[in-house]
Structure 1
């Protein structure tokens, strides 16, 4: 079964970009109004121009007609002064329209969060009613139409994950602890200790004979790092992209997803569940610290060349979350690609271009109970590919790699603009480009011997 129904939102061709166009049109219109008013002001001087007044001695009737015509042209109902005022009002109207659209979007998102919160409160205060109502209907559907296979039902209805996650703060609040989703994440993150990152180089710096040429190549590289083999303990790598003259044009960091699932209070690795929770709560993590150290060793801080972070699942969460800190520490992060990652509530600097690829039947991108922002720098490509299992729908190879291949051929303006902007990472010379693999561990937990 191949991927289908690829759709793109956000980015250069998205709604928010059009909002920005409204603001730009408003500013431009305001500039035109100002220029028109200046022209009108300049025109008034001709009404008292000495040469014009002197000519009235020779042709008084002509001067009167001239003065009258100028007055109408400048200050009449359709004159420059009135026109300037009208243009100015139009500019302000365009700016107000943008604000109104943005407020409507924000209120809609907050209204959805509030609705889920109250639904959770209702379930917690009347669990019997919830079971007899919606829960009973779902259970009936599962057993009648899915032979009792809850996983298959869930991947067919991934939006239920958004609903359940969104309801959780209301359910907790019913216990007398009023929280929203952000506070819930903070509380959960506090149960997972983080720690100190220990970074180890794996094998010597080697030639990267197959540097990426497009989005599918980027996801193929991520897939290789996600499953490196028994003899390769690396969990991130840095690809040093160089041109034919050996000059560094960019760095690509591959960040795979979750490998360990410890209970609260426990830690296992730099790729465990606690890192997911911490990153989604907006906290720094050992994996983020490891990425920064790997980039430092690869020379990214010294060259200042553009950096792209490519992450799957947890890797995408950490990639998006780390952009602000990495830039603050002198790393020129310009691009992020996430695959199957819940990054809708993560803020990213406005000049960092983010492409998020999501399988609609993958439940993991739904874990933040939020749609991705529709910003000029936030492009989201969704597609259909239902294998019937959560692991199959979340896999990189044959799933997200295929979607990336489709995006390489896409004519969508947002995707096309993203591809055009990432040339620093896709034009590497195979004889010059290099790769360094790293193992990021928690100090004292899973360090290499």
Structure 2
């Protein structure tokens, strides 16, 4: 007997980066494909007839011709504490923080509430096919524990960190330079590299950290260089003006981080819409990554990310929901928004490029591309199976499609959690989403 499983159905694979090479050359849908899972790893991706013949003892799980077996979605920037306030009405960034975010984050002072929200968030994102999330927590160390513990129960890959703020935030949501260092260090010791957990040192953004706190976190990162560092950069024009007033000596927004050691090839900068030429040059030079948050950027009126210009510089770019400034937990909706922003900039992305950004591209920004983000031999078995005819509206469009790519695009533009047929986490199906499948 064997625990091997063969998932049979159309497969989506990458042989390269479609942001730097023609997508037709490096992204493929094999309509006769299959994936062999052995334990928590992808062992083989090949033709179904080959794998079924070579591994006759494996359990075969059949998906339909209008399904698509994909890498699990990777959300590169989110705020799980904002789960309950997603889709709150009409604010700019600073108003959003003061009116919605900070009051809700205060509620996570209660460890029980933090655990409830952590479980709710991971359940919602898994329902949408997201198998890896990168999240800010609150200043409370137990909020970090709650998310890591919830992910560990699901055997799910997670990137997260304690949000650090020592000014321009309410009483009860401020720490200090020293406590930010001490709390983050203890959390790194407790979680980083344990199971499927990665720690990200997390100053919220320059306006809510003093130079002393940024320096303390820069020193902590220098001591733990295999951690990630995540923060926000140049999201809105009024935010940039605020940063200038708080850091008059800085050359630009990025310099407020650079001056304190918070720049490097394991840095993740969310949004990055209104960048100066020097900032782009420096990001490209040091290999830092940017994270595109399209539903958030439009929902709170931040601006249009320059995907074409930044990818031409070779800067790693990921894709993210930015819950709850972002208006959806779905990476499908996030891909649709990225396409729409591309249209507004006269540089629309193909479905193959969008799928890469939501999987391998985001994994690359997290330095996890050797573990997740692709259907490839030896990687961890995190997969999502999409139903490309999940609703009557999508099904009728799929029925008129010339090829699988037109079907994929229709699901990107109109799909939601109903399009998620199955989710596999580390080689195990994450619950039964519908009727059991017939074995071949």
TM-score by length of 1: 0.27
Provide the TM-score with structure 2 as the length reference: 0.28
Relative to its length, the structure with more helix (as a share) is: 1
Which structure ranks higher in relative contact order (CA pairs < 8 Å, sequence separation ≥ 6)?
Answer: 1
> Quick check: which has more Rg, 1 or 2?
1
The structure with the greater share of residues assigned to strand is 2
